[in-house]
Amino acid sequence: MDNFKDRKFIIFDLDGTLIDSNADILVALTYALTTVGGIPEVELDRALVDRYMGKGLHEIFAALLPTAHHHLLEEFVTTFRNYYRENCATNTAIYPGGLDLLQKLREGNKLMAIATSKFHPNAQLIANKLGLTPYFQYIQGTEPGEWRLKPDPYILNLLMEQAGFSPRDTVMIGDTDNDLLCAHRASVPVIAVTWGAWSADRLRELNPAALVENFAELATLLL
């Protein structure tokens, strides 16, 4: 097993890794689906949100919508983002034990970043509202334009460049295929967490460097 204690730069995914945001995402998805283009009310369940967690909004709406509505994808995405910005922390919370781990990592002089597929302003807003911002030197969400989403390694490479670290100095923490594949493609070892969207069995198939079931196990690996 990799000696993660020597890694100075720790990059966390956000949804499903640090925070449980499914309830607020569910509400925002439902709002967008039912208010754009006259689509009848659609019921979404938590399992469906889990299935698409970590994916980009265009991909999510393309999967949820009938083909006849795909010309409205941009409007659905914009509606979601605007609604979500106002309601992003109504029911969202940091997973138990998360803040304790971040405090220990900060005391251990680890540099930390968030790499998320969330729209960048929303990622920053949630981090501020939940008290995560003081622990992170970098909070990187997605930007408009030609932004390459996970599992493309773009976001990890960008953060390492900004922080001045190489893959040998870095470790990624995530809960979905997009996180693990992104890390693999950036040549960064990845620790998979089992409390998010993907089960332990599904995560093992993607060969993480380690698999943990709680923040205490994660702390043992990193400190």
Structural domain boundaries in the chain: 4-20+93-222, 22-87
Closest CA to 153 of 129, 188, 130, 182: 182
- Selected residue with higher pLDDT from 144 and 179: 179
pLDDT confidence of residue 156? 98
pLDDT confidence of residue 38? 76
Contact 156, 10 (CB under 8 A): no
Residue 178, pLDDT above cutoff 90: yes
pLDDT in tens, 89-142: 999 999 999 999 999 999 999 999 999 999 899 999 999 999 999 999 999 999
The matching CATH number, chosen from 3.30.2270.10, 3.40.50.720, 3.20.20.20, 3.40.50.1000, for 4-20+93-222 is 3.40.50.1000
Query: Dihedrals φ, ψ of 202, to 5°?
Result: -65, -40
pLDDT confidence of residue 3? 84
Contact 44, 30 (CB under 8 A): yes
- Selected residue with higher pLDDT from 156 and 2: 156
Q: How many CA atoms lie less than 13 Å away from 220 in the CB half-sphere?
A: 9
User: Is the CATH number 3.40.1580 carried by domain 22-87?
Assistant: no
Listing DSSP states for 151-182 in one string gives TSTHHHHHHHHHHT--GGGEEEEESSHHHHHH
pLDDT confidence of residue 2? 73
Q: How far apart are CA 190 and CA 179, in angstroms?
A: 8
pLDDT in tens, 8-39: 999 999 999 999 998 899 889 889 988 987 77
pLDDT in tens, 132-160: 999 999 999 998 777 899 999 999 999 99
pLDDT confidence of residue 155? 97
pTM here is 0.92
pLDDT in tens, 43-72: 666 666 667 777 788 888 888 888 888 999
pLDDT confidence of residue 73? 93
3-state SS assignment for residue 114: strand
Q: How far apart are CA 28 and CA 38, in angstroms?
A: 16
